[in-house]
Structure 1
Amino acid sequence: MAMNEGNNAWAKGIAYGMGAGAVNVPYPLLAHYRKLRLNDTEAMLLIQLLAFQQIERNDFPSLGQLESRMDMAPGTLAPVIRGLLKEGWISIDEAVDEATGIRSEHYNLSGVYQRLGEWLAEQPSAAVSSKSLDPAPETREEQERNLFVIFEKEFARPLSPMELETIAGWVDQDRYPEELIRLALKEAVFAGKVHFRYIDRILLEWSRNRVRTAEDVKTYTQRFRGGMR
């Protein structure tokens, strides 16, 4: 009896989900948004805008509606939208109703498809086979995952979402080489200061002093430690 009730609940859930509709999201956006220099919030915001347009026929959801949908604090999405506008992922177009003269605005998402198309065209043999959409070896995602494992092993605990985002930022935004991040962690361990703020300071200092390779680190740290004697 309980099994039947469970199956009925499952079937009702599936039926409700199917009835609510499906959103057409470009696969390359889902598969490669990090390589496209989008963070999780930016990618989800684009998906939500697609959902509002396709399912709810709302071309210009308010900030409040978007923040409520994404469970974000008031005011947090405004800078995200400005960034997407600046980078050309979206635009805001104005239309005038010829009958009433009423002006209205709507999000134009054609930039999403344009940016995806441009990026795919730059990939080797992107037009030859859909297999080109599979992650290539040594992608930034793989670098981040490897670093996550290394840091969790060194910290002897799971990393927090903020710490994971910090590592992702070092790779995707600051463009620090993976080798350099690992060496910064090693330096922090050597100094007995194994926390993210200290590691970030090391990376920033190295960046300011044009330290980019393991050999640069060796030379720099030897000079620094030599000066401390």
Structure 2
Amino acid sequence: MKKQEEWKRLEDGMLGALREGTQPVPYLFLKLYPSLKLNETEAMLIIQLMAFLDKDKLEFPTIEQIQGRMAATPEQVIKTLQKLLKSGWISIDEQIDLVSGVQSERYNLDGVYRKLAEAWADRERRAAEQDKQAAAETDAKDIFSIFEKEFGRPLTPMELETIAGWLDQDSYKQELILAALKEAVFAGKVHFRYIDRILLEWSRNRIYSVEQAKEHAQRFRTGR
């Protein structure tokens, strides 16, 4: 029974603590702060400043007030604040009351949100680039597979390099290369030198799409 009473008191104590409210912290901050080169003390100090501003409505807490909520010495708090100010994570705004003329200061956390937004945008950009690269690699594998199917054998390293050169150095579109392959198959001349001549001829005639290539081939076959 005594043990149950102890657990009940513990439960009541936790309930009272939770009733004081919770402090919302941006999920991106919790997720990204290690990659943004913030250590645990710096991250916790920023979270405490969020709580002071949001829950306590205290815009410029003292060093002692901040330190009282952290496992850090006053010296560590001062050093951490200086570092966050210097690196642009936080700033201090000065304001003057127009009635009393009293000057006051407040911590500004716009730098936190700006850095989070920049980090998010950078992650999205890199993810898009990776997706684009993966798609390009998939397309490259596809074009190699199509060539091997038409040739009826695996491509040699030199042939693979030739296709890569068409794509990367000559900047031929993949669909145009495949159209040239189709023309070579139609003509019964399935070899790389013939395909390369087709691509060169199309380039000289400013043919950059499959539709233009089809029209050019049709005119060539009809003698127009």
TM range (shorter): 0.5 to 0.7
SS at match of 1:99: coil
Structure 1 window deviating more from structure 2 (112-121 vs 12-21): it is: 12-21
Report the alpha carbon displacement of residue 4 of structure 1 after superposing the two structures with TM.
Answer: 3.9
User: Using the alignment, how far apart are the partners of 1:19 and 1:77 within structure 2?
Assistant: 28
State the TM-score, normalizing by the size of structure 1.
0.51
Q: What are the within-5 Å matches in structure 2 for residues 10-159 of structure 1? A: 10-124=10-124
Point out 4+ residue stretches in structure 1 off by more than 6 angstroms: 125-128
Structure 1 window deviating more from structure 2 (5-14 vs 92-101): it is: 5-14
SS at match of 2:71: coil
User: Using the alignment, how far apart are the partners of 2:110 and 2:37 within structure 1?
Assistant: 18
1:72-108 alpha-carbon deviations (Å, 9 max, x no partner): 2232222211111111110000111122111100000
Report the alpha carbon displacement of residue 60 of structure 1 after superposing the two structures with TM.
Answer: 0.5
User: Using the alignment, how far apart are the partners of 2:120 and 2:77 within structure 1?
Assistant: 28
User: Using the alignment, how far apart are the partners of 1:67 and 1:35 within structure 2?
Assistant: 25
User: Using the alignment, how far apart are the partners of 1:127 and 1:14 within structure 2?
Assistant: 42
State the TM-score, normalizing by the size of structure 2.
0.52
User: Using the alignment, how far apart are the partners of 1:18 and 1:80 within structure 2?
Assistant: 29
Q: What's the % identity of the aligned pairs?
A: 41
Report the alpha carbon displacement of residue 7 of structure 1 after superposing the two structures with TM.
Answer: 4.4
User: Using the alignment, how far apart are the partners of 2:22 and 2:119 within structure 1?
Assistant: 26
Q: How many residues align?
A: 128
Seen in structure 2, the aligned counterparts of structure 1 residues 127 and 112 have a Cα distance that, compared at 3 Å, is: farther
Letter of the structure 2 residue corresponding to residue 114 of structure 1: R
Letter of the structure 2 residue corresponding to residue 86 of structure 1: K
Seen in structure 2, the aligned counterparts of structure 1 residues 107 and 125 have a Cα distance that, compared at 3 Å, is: same
Report the alpha carbon displacement of residue 67 of structure 1 after superposing the two structures with TM.
Answer: 1.8
- Answer yes or no: is the 8 Å Cα contact 1:96–1:103 preserved in 2: yes
Seen in structure 2, the aligned counterparts of structure 1 residues 127 and 59 have a Cα distance that, compared at 3 Å, is: farther
User: Using the alignment, how far apart are the partners of 1:127 and 1:22 within structure 2?
Assistant: 33
User: Using the alignment, how far apart are the partners of 1:123 and 1:35 within structure 2?
Assistant: 11
1:133-186 alpha-carbon deviations (Å, 9 max, x no partner): xxxxxxxxxxxxxxxxxxxxxxxxxxxxxxxxxxxxxxxxxxxxxxxxxxxxxx
- Answer yes or no: is the 8 Å Cα contact 1:121–1:127 preserved in 2: no
Report the alpha carbon displacement of residue 118 of structure 1 after superposing the two structures with TM.
Answer: 0.6
1:35-66 alpha-carbon deviations (Å, 9 max, x no partner): 01101111011011111111211111111221
Alignment RMSD: 2.2
Higher relative contact order (CA closer than 8 Å, sequence separation 6+): 1
Report the alpha carbon displacement of residue 125 of structure 1 after superposing the two structures with TM.
Answer: 6.7
User: Using the alignment, how far apart are the partners of 1:40 and 1:28 within structure 2?
Assistant: 15
**Which sections of structure 1, spanning at least 5 residues, go unmatched?**
129-229
Report the alpha carbon displacement of residue 127 of structure 1 after superposing the two structures with TM.
Answer: 10
User: Using the alignment, how far apart are the partners of 1:2 and 1:126 within structure 2?
Assistant: 59
- Answer yes or no: is the 8 Å Cα contact 1:89–1:115 preserved in 2: yes
Letter of the structure 2 residue corresponding to residue 120 of structure 1: W
SS at match of 2:124: coil
User: Using the alignment, how far apart are the partners of 2:39 and 2:7 within structure 1?
Assistant: 38
